Amino acid sequence: MGKVARQVVEQAGVNVDVLIDKLVRAAGAEFTTFYYYTILRVNSIGFEGEGLKEIIEDARIEDRNHFEALTPRIYELGGALPRDIRQFADIAGCPDAYLPSNPTDMKALLNVLVEAERCAIRTYTEICNMTFGKDHRTYDMALAILHEEVEHEAWFSEYLSEGPSGHFRRGAPGASPYVRRFMTADIA
Amino acid sequence: MWRRVGRVEEIPPGQTRFYWAGSKPIVVANRDGRFFALGGICPHRDNPLDGAQLWGHLIDCPWHHFLYDIRSGENYFPRNVYPEDYPELQKQLRPLPTYQVEVRESEIWVDLE
């Protein structure tokens, strides 16, 4: 734990225990989403699914990156991940992204993906609102994750023909253009 | 049975507030000046809706981000994506109870029947 790192956040008026709880839940949601997106990507096949597979993979890897970025901040603030992974899954801040009953229904699969991203956007908006102007480091990181979650929503939303976003594909799978600077242990 | 739970100025438009009406937990939402009262415990995991955000007509449980329609109490998310072939998941999607609300001289009254 960083003693002063926590103290300055507390003195700015943030309830650090509540913030840690939200960060752990967000990390849980990223971790479980990585797992579920693996299943969704595997099942994204056929004429409709093959084109979708690549962006599920980008979102899947970037969600894992979000977990990697969140974890050090949890410990810096004096928090910890649950020792039991089952507990971690239970407290995940977003519902599980289950494979639809009919796994060949690509529209149903897309709905699972887009709603998962929308839940993530609400999660990080809440953390940004809580830390803005008070906890600069958590805010900066949550905003970086939010940027990527917004892009993920747009990718899946475009597949559902809900409207264009102007985004294009990543240069490399799961490149995390916003979050990679928080992943000092993972990316050279 | 009608009970006074709070005052209108305690809940600005677009926000919610958690109250105890006697022993009953209640959450009240202000949607564009119209007040809605619902049960204050999320039926997913029995967590309080204290601090729940309002997105349009959907109230957002702060614990696992389940969304409920404040007009009907029905679950919106993840009902719209949960697979129907998992009966145990369907049990998590029970609605929030809804209550009638009246504003009387800037006081919020809720019918708990």
Dist CA A116 CA B64 (whole Å): 12
Indicate which CATH number applies to the domain containing B29.
2.102.10.10
Complex confidence, ipTM: 0.89
pLDDT at A146: 98
Domain hosting B105: range is 2-111
> Token match 């009262």: residue?
B37
Do residues A124 and A30 lie in contact, with contact meaning Cβ atoms separated by under 8 Å? Answer: no
* A120 vs A163 pLDDT, higher one: A120
Task: Name the token pair of B9.
Answer: 């100025």
Superfamily for the A16-182 domain: Ferritin, core subunit, four-helix bundle (1.20.1260.10)
Task: For residue B81, give the nearest of A25, A115, A123 by CB distance.
Answer: A115
Dist CA B28 CA B37 (whole Å): 4
pLDDT at A1: 77
Instruction: State the average pLDDT for chain A.
Output: 94
Give burial (CB, 10 Å; 0-12/13-18/19+) of A48.
middle
Q: Which of B44, B81, B84, B90 to mutate to test the interface with A (most CBs of A within 10 A)?
A: B81
Mean pLDDT for A106-134 is: 97
Q: How far is CA B2 from CA B7, B105, B108, B109, in A?
A: 15, 15, 10, 6
CB hemisphere CA count around A2 (13 angstroms): 14
A98-107 as b/e: b if 16+ CB within 10 A: bebeebeebe
Task: For residue A111, give the nearest of B55, B81, B86 by CB distance.
Answer: B81
Residue ranges of domains in chain A: 16-182
Instruction: Using CA coordinates, name the residue in chain A closest to B67.
Output: A119
Mean pLDDT for A19-44 is: 98
Mean pLDDT for B60-69 is: 96
A49-84 as b/e: b if 16+ CB within 10 A: beebeebbbbbbbbbbbbbbbbbebbebbbbebeee
Q: What is the dihedral of CA B82, B90, A26, A160, to 10 degrees?
A: 20
Nearest to A127 by CA among A116, A117, A137, A139: A139
Number of domains in chain B: 1
Q: Under an 8 Å CB criterion, which residues of A touch B?
A: 25, 92-101, 108, 111-112, 115-116, 118-119, 122-123, 126
Task: Name the token pair of B64.
Answer: 């696992």
> Token match 């992943």: residue?
A183
pLDDT at A185: 65
